[in-house]
Chain A
Amino acid sequence: MSALPKGANVSLSKEIPGLTGVVVGVDWDTGGERALGDNLALLTLLAGADGKVVSQDHVVHFNQLVSSDLSTAQLEQALGGDDEQVEVELSGVPESVQRIVFVLYLSESGTGRRTLARLRSCIVRVLNLQGGAQIIASANLASGLDAETAISLAELYRRGGEWKFRVLGSGYSSGLAGVARDFGVRL
């Protein structure tokens, strides 16, 4: 299957009948700029129908690696070529969670005026949690970034009893603060 562009979606449940879980991997290239690479972080937000996280324990990141329902977990050390990976046990996601959104942001400390404009590439992959076979990958989401310091990469979402995957690629010039405001994360 070709790379999914921004806005495109695919039904994971149809692609892989009986799918129980996925690994969402993010692979980025900073062109060797250490200050940028060191301060990038992945945020996974388990949101309800109102678009807000269902609780502050449903925010997964490098310092809170597992959602309180245990369905979603960021790996301490990503496998393969990805920089970060998040495992989602789809069958364990509470019904109250309608979307799981993956956000890449630049942690705002010691980064000066850096933005994601220096990001050369950023690709999201979805793997089958059982066996690790790749199901789908996004197109390069780094193109077109300028003053943004955060970008919502992709989401898993429920639709008609299925789990679907959509590539987002929408940036935030307000960084983590803007993301937190949109999703109700308390900082």
Chain B
Amino acid sequence: MTRDDLPFLRRRSRMTPPPSSANPPAAQSGPPASPPAARPGASANPLDLARPDEPRVAPLDLSRPGAARVDPLDLGSSTPAPTPAAPERTGSGLDLGSSALDLGSSTPAPASPQAPTSRHRALPDHDLQLRGIAEGQVLQFTPGNPVVQLTRTQSAAGELTFRAEISQPNDLILVAAFETTDGREGMVVPSLRPQGPDPSAPILRASSTITVNLRFITRLRRFFVLGVPRRSDLRLPGGTLVTSTYGGARLDLPLGTEVTLGAKALLTAYVVEGRIVLRAEHDPYSGTLQQVCDVYGYGGLSWRDPFTPL
């Protein structure tokens, strides 16, 4: 089956097995952090999820919302106000290839009565038609419903935690790649590079779990979580990848038991207008850590070997 919802996946080809000498990340003292890398040009705009053969929409300005910037010349006469908080959506996140994330086609909300006189600008508020999750709720990612969007407040409260619930905890290592809003790419890997991008003020941490400090969410453009099986046959261990919010919401992604080529993308996340959009990949492909990062658009990372980022 050809996936047409993520343009950069068109570059994907079946992976070759990793060299026998390539091992999953091992505990070692890592070299200095890799220098800031340019964004991979081939992946283009990571938010452009339109079909490859469709006209591309104008790129979304994902800079910090300028709502609070005071512009004395902006009388707000044309500034639409957002609608009140939308209730949790039950729509399918499956149709990402067509319009669900087509930010150029959604309709802004009508202006509120206050808009014409306010010095403040409304936040961008494109309706992505994605399902949300309430505090304390448990949802499951499925191939037919792989996407969940957090609210801006959920995306800013406490931390987001990713934990593998498996029978033998050592059978799977979780690692994460990320890109900051200033274009830096990096990885967090347990023992090797447990914090990033700045160890003195980390946004992501990797240990037995991956955690994202949401106090710094405005500095993050995207990230994704990968699984690296530690069994000798490189088979995924089954179990569940559990994503937890500060408010106690839980998102479960069942893990398979298939043999991999060393690493597998599990879950991707994009920060869209301040809201974290999580997508379970359910991707049949696997490869070395480097290969998987590359096909998911993290081509700016440097590597010591196919499983060890610099």
Are B246 and A187 in touch, CB under 8 angstroms? yes
Q: Is B103 an interface residue (CB 8 A)?
A: no
Are B118 and A71 in touch, CB under 8 angstroms? yes
Q: Is B261 an interface residue (CB 8 A)?
A: no
Q: Is A41 an interface residue (CB 8 A)?
A: yes
What total count of A-B pairs have CB within 8 Å?
Answer: 136
Are B274 and A70 in touch, CB under 8 angstroms? no
Query: Which A62-77 residues sit within 8 Å CB-CB of chain B?
Result: 62-66, 68-76
Q: Is A121 an interface residue (CB 8 A)?
A: no
Q: How far is the CA of A5 from the CA of B65 in the complex (A)?
A: 35
**With contact pairs A76-B69, A107-B215, A176-B158 given, residues A68 and B84 touching in the complex (Cβ less than 8 Å):** yes
Query: Which residue of chain A lies nearest to B115 when distances are taken between CB atoms in the complex?
Result: A70
Segment at the interface with A among B19-27, B40-48, B198-206, B301-309? B198-206
Query: Which residue of chain B lies nearest to A61 when distances are taken between CB atoms in the complex?
Result: B156
Query: Which residue of chain A lies nearest to B123 when distances are taken between CB atoms in the complex?
Result: A66
Smallest CB–CB gap between B151 and chain A, Å? 7
Contacts of B152 in A (CB 8 A): 63-64
Interface range on chain A: under 10, 10 to 19, 20 to 34, or 35 or more? 35 or more
Are A92 and B84 in touch, CB under 8 angstroms? no
Are B213 and A110 in touch, CB under 8 angstroms? yes
Q: Is A109 an interface residue (CB 8 A)?
A: yes
**With contact pairs A71-B114, A110-B205, A187-B247 given, residues A63 and B84 touching in the complex (Cβ less than 8 Å):** no
Smallest CB–CB gap between B114 and chain A, Å? 5
Q: Which residues of B contact A (CB under 8 A)?
A: 64-70, 76, 79, 81-85, 112, 114-115, 117-123, 134-135, 151-159, 200-202, 205, 211-218, 245-248, 274
